[in-house]
Structure formats: structure tokens, C-alpha cells
Amino acid sequence: MEKKVSPHSVAVHAGDRKRPEGNSPAWVPVTIPIHTASSYFYNDMQDLDRVFGNEMPGQSYGRYGNPTSDALEELVTALECGPSANSLNKPGALACATGMAAIHMALSTALMDRRRVILAANQLYGATLGMLAKVFEPAGIETVFLDFCDDAAVKAAMETHRPGAVLMETISNPLLAVPALDRIGELCHKADAPLIVDNTFATPLIIRPFEHGASFVVHSLTKYLSGHGDTLGGIVVADGANLDLLRALARTVGFTLGPFECYLAMRGIKTFPLRMERQCANAVKVAEWLGRQEAVERVYFPADPKHPNAANIQRLFAEGLFGGMVSFEIKGADRARIFRIMNALRLVVPATSLGDVHSMMLYPAMASHRDIAPKHRARLGIHDNLVRLSVGIEAVEDIISDLDQALRNV
Ligand SMILES: *Cc1c(COP(=O)(O)O)cnc(C)c1O
């Protein structure tokens, strides 16, 4: 594939329609088949031996991958690495059972033979905070949390703690903070600490963390990339320096994504840039409308010129795209009123998750940030009157009229 190809074309073509090498068969399926075989053999045992020994590309056992996961991995690598693939020294990806499995694999790989200290943003996805506290900490891996939007604090912490890995999200959940990824990438590079970026909220259409110094980019495929609310999956994209170790660990741990899910994710990704553009455009209009409502106390949205990280957003985001997530506080609302509003929704789906074609509303205090003590939640700025909206691809006037009736009638 040419350099600098539009993500719209990459999404449709990368990883698919591989021409067979040599002679037969002469036909090429227009989409990747779902390869369900759990193991593979060759005409000659020598070939299987070479594949096992990593001397020859090929398939051997389903836990190590299959042609369907290979195609998905190639596709997401092309989307995330884009024109910087050369400088990344043969990057590649590993499809995982879920986004959480992907984060686990990235952290385990980054920390191998490094100082067992993680520097992490305190504005992380709830389950990621849980994994650091409940899985890594008991295993002797300390995490130092701090506000990644405080440049000076990050710089000081890098020097004080000398982390073995650094973990952040491009757009934080649910308050949509945007740290200075480029400056953090530079600090990590100088300190030789691999930077792991969870790019689930921003997607490679808005920002490609490898261009700013990331060593690993992870996604919950469950969200924007698959986009239809019908599959779970995760993926780690790694630069060439980390890919072999990532794959070697994955073979042992076995977080493998099944072939059906790989197919669904790949099918979803073909329309991801189109969907995302529409979701971003809808979100701008929904955020503007919310900002004018009497019932709404405050709107969190990256297009807001008064956003606390407006300078980072201006520097890092693709022009005119601000993501499809909008969070807002409802004036004086307690949990009971939020529940009534969410029960009144007719089009917007009051369910967990995000990035689907349908709009969704989530109550962070009940769902994503449920396990965090109320006091700590308040310290993070996640108040009990905050809701998070994932704007879908519906007609924007229908989304707004549903929000309008729900906010008015209860
Ligand atoms: C959903 C999500 C995850 C976890 O992904 P799963 O596929 O649910 O395991 C991780 N990070 C972010 C930012 C997410 O939104």
C-alpha cells in the first residue's frame, strides 16, 4: 500500500484480498474468510518445523493466531501506524480477547526486564484502574498515579520514579481531558520508558500516538473500531522493538481473539472512518445544543474553546474532529433524577459501552467509576450529576429531540 493513503481507503483495503503466492488457487475471496481451524499442517513436515521456529511465516496452532486475526492485525497496524510505519521498524499488532486483555499484554511486555513501576494517568478507564490495583499491585508492580494534564508534575514524576512503563489515554473517560501526548512522548523517549497509549476514545482518525512517541497503542475493539455493539475484542499495536516479545508472551498467556470476532471487528472497521466522521459532526451539534439548555450545568467537550486542554487539542487533533463523546452535568440532579431521565430516553440507549452506531448514555457514578470511593470520585471531578453520552450516527435532530424530551419531562 502507498504511503499517505487516506484512512478511508486503508480501512477498506488493508489486510484483505491477499493474492496467493505461486500457483493455485487462482481465485481470491473479496473478504477474509473466517478460519476456524484450531491447527494446521503442511505437505512437508519441514515447513511446520520452520513455522514453529519462526523461520517462516505461516500457521501452526490457533492460540498463536490464524489467517483471520492476521488480516485484522494488519489492518489496525496500517490505520495506527500510517505513514510513520518505516520509522517504527516493522510494527505489528496482536488481537486480544478484550480491550482489558490488550492493556494487560501491553503492560506485561513493557515491564519485562524493566523497573516494576508504572506511571499512570489518574484519569483512566475504571477497569484499567482496577487492573493496576487488583492484579499488578499484588504482583509487586507499583503504580504512581498523577494528573497527566499537569506537564510539570509528569516531568518531575518521570525523574523521581523512573518508571518502567507509562500508561495514559488520549481522551480521558469521562471528563474528556487531553494530556500533552507529544511532550509526554518526548519525556518517555529520553527516559527510555515505553509509553502505552489507550487510543479507544480518540481512534486513529483523530490522533495517531505513534507519531508522538508511543511504543504501544491499545484499543478496545469493542468500541468505535467494531462499532456495532455486537462483539468484544481488543488489540495491541507495538513498534518493531517490542513486537517479538509481545507475540512470544501472547503465545503463552493465550488471550487470543476468536476468528468470528476478528471477522466482525474487521467488517466493522471498513466503515469506521465514515461512522466516526458522522459521530464527530453529530457530537459538535449535540454539545452546542446542550450548552444552551437551562437544565444543563456544564458540558465537557473537546471543541469548547474554554476546554482546560484547548492548546493540546488544537495541536494534536485532526482538524475539525473532536471525538464523539460528550459528557454533561445536569443541574441539581441526584442519582434518582438521573435514573428517571435515563429511563425516559426513547432513542438514546441507556447502556454501558460507547462508540456504537446507536447513541448511548452512561452514568459513570453507577457504571464505569462505580468501584471508586465517592470521595475519590469527587476529587477526580466526576460528580453524581454527570452523565456521559456516546453520540451515534442517527440524524442529529432525532438525538437532540430525544434528549430534549427526557430532560424536560422528568
Ligand atoms: C471499554 C474500554 C476498555 C476495555 O475494553 P473491553 O473491550 O471492554 O475489555 C479499555 N479502555 C477504554 C478507554 C475503554 O473505553
Instruction: Judge whether 2 lies within some domain.
Output: no
Same domain for 278 and 265:
no
Asked whether the beta carbons of 279 and 225 are under 8 A apart, the reply is no
| CA 125 to ligand 1 center in whole angstroms | 7
Burial class (CB in 10 A: 0-12, 13-18, 19+), 186: middle
pLDDT at 409: 77
**Is 64 a catalytic site residue?**
no
> Is the link from the previous residue into 25 a cis peptide, with omega within 30 of 0?
yes
Q: What is the best residue among 223, 224, 262, 353 to mutate for testing ligand 1's pocket, by most ligand atoms within 8 Å of CB?
A: 223
| CA 239 to ligand 1 center in whole angstroms | 21
Domain of 303? Answer: 272-408
Same domain for 225 and 113:
yes
pLDDT at 367: 81
CATH number of domain containing 338: 3.90.1150.10
The side-by-side arrangement of strands in the sheet containing 386-390 is: 296-300, 325-330, 386-390, 360-362
| CA 79 to ligand 1 center in whole angstroms | 19
Residues with Cβ < 8 Å from 150, sequence gap 6 or more? none
| CA 221 to ligand 1 center in whole angstroms | 8
Residue that finishes a domain, picked among 222, 248, 269: 269
Residue that finishes a domain, picked among 233, 252, 269: 269
**Is 90 a catalytic site residue?**
no
C-alpha cell at 125: 478507564
Q: What is the best residue among 148, 222, 224, 356 to mutate for testing ligand 1's pocket, by most ligand atoms within 8 Å of CB?
A: 222
Same domain for 288 and 235:
no
Same domain for 247 and 346:
no
Q: Measuring from atom 4 of ligand 1, which residue has the nearest CA?
A: 99
Residue that finishes a domain, picked among 269, 286, 304: 269
Same domain for 286 and 244:
no
Residues with Cβ < 8 Å from 303, sequence gap 6 or more? 284, 287, 322
The pTM of the full predicted model, rounded to 2 decimals, is 0.95
pLDDT at 1: 43
Asked whether the beta carbons of 106 and 78 are under 8 A apart, the reply is no
Same domain for 151 and 21:
yes
The DSSP secondary structure of 3-68, one letter per residue, reads TT--HHHHHHHTT--PPPSSSS-----SS------SB---SSHHHHHHHHTTSS----BGGG--HH
The tens-digit pLDDT sequence of the chain (410 residues) is 445 789 999 999 999 988 877 766 778 899 999 999 999 999 999 999 999 988 999 999 999 999 999 999 999 999 999 877 788 889 999 999 999 999 999 999 999 999 999 999 998 998 999 999 999 999 999 999 999 999 999 999 999 999 999 999 999 989 999 999 999 999 999 999 999 999 999 999 999 999 999 999 999 999 999 999 999 999 999 999 999 999 999 999 999 999 999 999 999 999 999 999 999 999 999 999 999 999 999 999 999 999 999 999 999 999 999 999 999 999 999 999 999 999 999 999 999 999 999 999 999 988 877 777 888 888 888 999 999 999 999 999 999 999 999 999 77
Instruction: Judge whether 133 lies within some domain.
Output: yes
Same domain for 79 and 169:
yes
CATH number of domain containing 20: 3.40.640.10
CA dist 55 and 68 (Å) reads 21
Ligand 1, CB within 6 Å, residue ranges: 98-100, 125, 127-128, 169, 173, 198, 200-201, 220, 222-223, 232, 234
CA dist 178 and 169 (Å) reads 8
Asked whether the beta carbons of 107 and 168 are under 8 A apart, the reply is no
CA dist 164 and 170 (Å) reads 20
Instruction: Judge whether 235 lies within some domain.
Output: yes
**Is 125 a catalytic site residue?**
yes
Same domain for 308 and 173:
no
Same domain for 237 and 358:
no
pLDDT at 379: 83
Instruction: Judge whether 1 lies within some domain.
Output: no
**Is 223 a catalytic site residue?**
yes
| CA 101 to ligand 1 center in whole angstroms | 9
Atom of ligand 1 nearest to the CA of 100: 9
Same domain for 279 and 200:
no
